[in-house]
Chain A
Amino acid sequence: MLTEAEWQAILISLRVAGTAVGGILVPGVALAWLMARHEFRGKALLDGIVHLPLVLPPVVVGYLLLISLGRQGWLGQWLDAWFGVTLPFTWQGAAVAAGVMAFPLLVRAVRLSLEAVDVKLEAAASTLGANRWRVFFTITLPLALPGLLTGTVLAFARALSEFGATITFASNIPGETRTLPLALYTLIQTPGAEAAAARLCVLSIIIAMLSLLVSEWLARLARRRLRERDSQR
């Protein structure tokens, strides 16, 4: 049903987006918690930096990644020297680009849902002998779960659709960094490939719809767990 190139693009897309979201989940939640629960110097600045990818042209983000994480970049040289890791022109590099672009969406959604959790419940938990970690994992996180799920799906969708930063930083290499959007772009550039482009377009819509449905289903599940009416009543 699907051509090999199409399968390849789908798999690369899922791998890149999955890695990106998996990579930003923990730092994203940690940062969201920090911003939701604490006041500190430079908070507004940090907030601005986190949101930059949302407002900058993706090409600019890709370029910034290239000059910092590229072979000649200060961070890239260090990664290469110590870990033998090269990011540009690899699918890992594409994942980094997608992760950076998706990060603000995740942090935003999680932060909002954390702020909605009543701090009085957290205080009550601490008087019951729970330390910060236990309070976070037994009270804060479960109550913020619907928002966390929404944020994760949003970030995943953003990572799937990432184009500008990816092509700038990781290039458009078939079988390595050619994700769905890049494959579609390539077909559009190719004369006579209109039909193939349309197929990819439909595929993209299907994948996006699926992830929305999954997110809706998960959020409903989480809400039901929270508000469940007692059957024994």
Chain B
Amino acid sequence: MPDATSVTHFHANNGTALSLDVERRQGEFHLQASLTLPGKGVTALFGASGSGKTSLLRMIAGLDRPDSGTIRLGEKTLTDTRRGIQVPPHRRRLGVVFQEARLFPHYRVRGNLAYGLHPSMRSRVDAIVELLGIGHLLQRLPATLSGGEARRVAIGRALLTAPRLLLMDEPLTGLDGARKQELLHYIDQLARDIDIPIVYVSHDPHELTAIADHLVLLDQGQVRAEGRLDVLLNRFDLTEHLGGFDAASVIAARVEMHDIHYALTRLTLEDGQTLSVPRLDASPGQRLRLRIPVRDVALALTEPRDISYRNRLHAVIQRIEPLDGSRASVELGLSVSGQALRARLTRHALDEMGLDVGMPVVALIRSVAFETR
């Protein structure tokens, strides 16, 4: 992952980039968005319920039309209200994975997968079936599938249409924790294995940090912020939207080795500093993303000897800002190995320790705090 301050490739000119400028009123609700989404990776449309993210997705898919505006995918105009263009959903070549899977109850899994099969995908059916782990379900009817299985079939069905863009509308809704984690893993695998940009609608900060590369933050029908995930996660003014109390930052690291005895995995940062996390299913050399909740980071002025925190990273304080809505706490922006890390302290601790911008500190991170991609 490149360093956290560059945002250049977000708006890079790309053949399949999605650009839109739309406006739509629905009763009291007013949605107004102007965006260019990158032509690769996972872009999250993120916001509370009622923020307009699903409306936006439906307009992109062609299921709703904006009152005014344009939607373009690469060179192709999908919607242009002024010129009277509204390409119908079946000719947009966009894969859509809906919240409720929406499998056809009268077709078996095989029939569902074949429904929109594009000739160019015929040779890849087996690979996608295997990637999603649905090979043993092919003869089953949708009514007999579990929630997670149905979602995977729905993802496969959308992929086999050879879409130019995959739209996913909160595909983890209604799944329990373990199933959620499992499906996230499949989606993540997918995002890396296939070369199709994904637009992922979500309201869950955990899902966001787990799979998104880019982020569009929607709030009451307006785009509040857009950009690279790691950059936006470090914008203190967005804390309220991006997890609030449970806000987190992400940092990239490389797997160095596994410690079999203690069942730990050691990771290294760019500058050689190391971290230990409970053993991960990843091979040495692999790049990972770690989610570190702001409340799980403590600071020390010198490296402490008698403390149970195993992960100690040398960092420099970049910013100190008050936390909206809390007189007791402050947010700190740290720089660790060229990446941004956030910490939340009490104002009392800040003053007693005499912390200030530019000071070197040791960031103590609880091992169990890691969440990985």
Contact = CB atoms under 8 A, between A and B. Distances in A.
Interface of A: 120-121, 123-131, 138-139, 142-143, 225-230, 232-233
A117 B7 CA distance: 47
Nearest to B157: A128
A225 B107 CA distance: 9
A230 B104 contact: no
Contacts of A229: 141, 143-144
- Which 5 pairs from chain A and chain B are nearest by CB? A128-B116, A124-B102, A127-B96, A126-B89, A129-B116
Contacts of A130: 90, 115-116
28 contacts: A120-B100, A120-B102, A121-B102, A121-B104, A121-B105, A123-B89, A123-B102, A124-B98, A125-B115, A126-B63, A127-B94, A128-B157, A128-B158, A129-B91, A129-B93, A129-B116, A129-B118, A130-B116, A226-B105, A227-B143, A229-B141, A229-B143, A230-B139, A230-B140, A230-B144, A232-B139, A232-B140, A233-B144
B161 interface: yes
Nearest to B141: A230
Main secondary structure of the interface of B (DSSP, over half): loop
Interface in B308-351: none
Contacts of B221: none
Nearest to B102: A124
B100 A129 contact: no
A120 B103 CA distance: 10
B61 A127 contact: yes
A128 B118 CA distance: 10
B106 interface: yes
Counting chain A CB atoms within 10 Å of each CB, the highest count among B90, B139, B140 belongs to B90
Interface in B216-260: none
B140 A233 contact: yes
Q: How large is the interface on B (under 10, 10 to 19, 20 to 34, 35 or more residues)?
A: 20 to 34
B95 interface: yes
B174 interface: no
Contact of B105 (A125, A143, A230): A143
A147 to B, nearest CB: 14
B98 to A, nearest CB: 6
Report which residue of B89, B95, B157, B158 has the largest number of chain A beta carbons within 10 angstroms of its beta carbon: B89
Which of B98, B104, B143, B161 has the most CB atoms of chain A within a 10 A radius of its CB? B104
A139 B139 contact: no
B350 to A, nearest CB: 52
Contacts of A131: 88, 90
Contacts of B95: 127
Given A120-B98, A139-B104, A127 B89 contact: yes
A232 B89 CA distance: 35
B104 A129 contact: no
Nearest to A226: B106
Contacts of B104: 121, 124-125, 139
A233 B141 CA distance: 10
A37 to B, nearest CB: 14
A137 B106 CA distance: 13
B20 to A, nearest CB: 17
Nearest to B163: A127
Given A127-B89, A130-B116, 15 more contacts: A121-B105, A124-B104, A127-B92, A127-B95, A127-B158, A128-B157, A129-B116, A138-B115, A143-B105, A225-B106, A229-B144, A230-B108, A230-B139, A230-B140, A230-B144
